[in-house]
């Protein structure tokens, strides 16, 4: 396959999944309350990051997304830990020394416990106060070492996980709270993007996107498909494209200052949502199902790329997360091969795709599944799997 000059080849990861939960985080308490498996020290990245970057560079990869754990650098409100700041600066420096350009995420599902206890993103003053302060601090402390930013991981999914009964702290299932946090997290994401662009580094979103396919012509099927679009796609894209945020259960918010907040629209892709008989269904029918419960179908990546191109035709796109949880590395290799081919085909159709990031580099902690599911092209003992060669072949040219 032929790729555009400067195409970004990378991997993605998060602090909690690679380093283990921070003692001052809401996830630490969540684990100890028996709500999630213990993460321990993750995959040991905090000690082995130089080794890991060397392995990635050896595969010809040039980019890596990581997150800086808010609860580690600010374990108490307004009190920053110099040792934690120095550690993350060392991580970013090591990436650059290895020839890996680091992308930094500021919020990847977890929060400092003090922020969570004060209401988290349910409280507007938390978004405009502590969160904004955190964004400023990260920009000032790490901007000189950061190649690019992806402020909030899957901003369109976090509220559903935490306030829609999906097992994330605080474990609420409240439609009113869900709407408030969905609104707040989209605003927090775009406001952070504007601030981070001031560092001179590019900023990408990372929305969690799935294709939405109706499998019959029933009215309730089409109604649910529209609801899914309005929930997962419309808020973030509408705010970016039009400067208007529309969240179910809330009045529209006009924020023209946040239109065009991102340099790229990045996204994660794991599955396509089928809708049949007014209910969610595996798509395509009969597709194999992953250990996390969704259908495995690489071709859905093309549906997302095409729809994004239709929605924001003049905006570059980034495949910011693409991977599969499986113990079958042959399946991973095939899935990876197909995803890259689909991306290449999209570029051939004139879609401006700037990069492809595989999730993940080294097997890590998977939130509600612990260490049962393998996503890495490298195992926790740092054995490089054969599937890595599929990615390396294209990255090296």
pLDDT digit of tens for each residue in the chain (397 aa)?
999 999 999 999 999 999 999 999 999 999 999 999 999 999 999 999 999 999 999 999 999 999 999 999 999 999 999 999 999 999 999 999 999 999 999 999 999 999 999 999 999 999 999 999 999 999 999 999 999 999 999 999 999 999 999 999 999 999 999 999 999 999 999 999 999 999 999 999 999 999 999 999 999 999 999 999 999 999 999 999 999 999 999 999 999 999 999 999 999 999 999 999 999 999 999 999 999 999 999 999 999 999 999 999 999 999 999 999 999 999 999 999 999 999 999 999 999 999 999 999 999 999 999 999 999 999 999 999 999 999 999 999 9
| Separation of CA 120 from chain center | 19
Q: Is residue 3 part of a domain?
A: no
How far, in Å, CA of 53 to CA of 94, rounded?
7
Q: Which pLDDT belongs to residue 3? A: 99
Domain contains 370: yes
Q: How many domains is the chain partitioned into structurally?
A: 1
Output the pLDDT for position 279. Answer: 98
Pairing between β-strand 279-282 and β-strand 273-276 as defined by DSSP bridges: antiparallel
Confirm whether 15 is domain-assigned.
Answer: yes
Tally of CA atoms within 13 A in the half-sphere of 309 that contains its CB: 16
Q: What is the 3-state secondary structure (H, E, C) of 145-201?
A: HCCEECCECCHHHHHHHHHECCCCCCCCECHHHHHHHHHHHHHHHHHHHHHHHCCCC
pLDDT score, position 343: 99
pLDDT at residue 169 in the model: 98
Domain-embedded: residue 61: yes
CB-based contact 67:21 (threshold 8 Å): no
State the virtual CA torsion across 93, 97, 102, 108 in degrees, nearest 10: -50
Q: What pLDDT does 100 receive?
A: 99
> Residue 175: which residues within 8 A CB-CB, separation 6 or more?
249
Residue 359 near residue 12 (C-beta atoms within 8 A): yes
How long is the chain?
397
The Cα 347–Cα 373 span in angstroms is 31
**Residues with Cβ within 8 Å of residue 152, at least 6 apart in sequence:** 105, 106, 107, 158, 185, 188, 189, 192, 206
For residue 357, being part of any structural domain is answered with yes
Task: Return all residues near 88 (Cβ < 8 A) that are at least 6 apart.
Answer: 68, 72, 73, 142
61 close to 108: Cβ distance less than 8 angstroms: no
CATH number for position 335? 3.20.20.80
What is the DSSP secondary structure assignment for residue 208, as one 8-state letter? E
Q: Quote the domain boundaries for residue 55.
A: 8-396
**Assigned domain for 298 exists:** yes
């Amino acid at each position: 396959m032929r790729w555009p000059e400067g195409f970004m080849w990378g991997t993605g990861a998060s602090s909690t999944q690679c380093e283990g939960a921070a003692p001052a985080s809401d996830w630490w308490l969540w684990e100890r309350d028996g709500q999630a498996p213990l993460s321990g020290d993750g995959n040991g990245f905090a000690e082995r990051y130089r080794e890991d970057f060397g392995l990635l560079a050896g595969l010809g990869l040039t980019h890596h997304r990581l997150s800086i754990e808010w609860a580690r650098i600010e374990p108490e409100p307004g009190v920053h830990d110099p040792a934690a700041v120095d550690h993350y600066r060392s991580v970013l420096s090591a990436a650059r020394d290895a020839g890996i350009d680091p992308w930094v995420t500021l919020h990847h599902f977890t929060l400092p416990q003090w922020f969570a206890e004060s209401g988290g993103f349910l409280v507007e003053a938390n978004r405009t106060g502590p969160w904004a302060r955190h964004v400023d601090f990260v920009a000032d402390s790490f901007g000189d070492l950061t190649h690019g930013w992806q402020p909030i991981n899957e901003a369109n999914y976090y509220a559903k996980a935490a306030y829609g009964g999906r097992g994330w702290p605080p474990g609420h299932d409240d439609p009113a709270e869900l709407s408030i946090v969905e609104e707040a997290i989209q605003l927090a994401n775009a406001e952070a993007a504007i601030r981070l662009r001031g560092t001179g580094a590019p900023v990408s979103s990372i929305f969690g996107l799935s294709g939405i396919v109706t499998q019959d012509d029933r009215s309730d099927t089409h109604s649910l498909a529209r609801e899914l679009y309005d929930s997962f796609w419309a808020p973030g894209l509408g705010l970016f494209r039009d400067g208007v945020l529309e969240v179910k259960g809330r009045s529209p918010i006009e924020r023209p200052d946040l239109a065009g907040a991102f340099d790229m629209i990045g996204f994660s892709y794991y599955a396509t949502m089928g809708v049949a008989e007014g209910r969610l269904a595996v798509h395509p029918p009969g597709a194999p199902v992953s250990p996390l419960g969704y259908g495995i179908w690489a071709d859905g990546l093309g549906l997302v790329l095409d729809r994004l191109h239709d929605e924001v035709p003049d905006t570059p796109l980034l495949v910011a997360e693409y991977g599969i949880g499986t113990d079958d590395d042959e399946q991973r290799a095939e899935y990876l091969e197909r995803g890259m081919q689909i991306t290449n085909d999209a570029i051939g159709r004139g879609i401006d795709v700037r990069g492809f990031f595989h999730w993940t580099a080294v097997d890590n902690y998977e939130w509600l599944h612990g260490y049962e599911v393998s996503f890495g092209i490298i195992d926790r003992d740092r054995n490089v799997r054969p599937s890595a060669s599929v990615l390396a072949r294209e990255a090296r040219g």
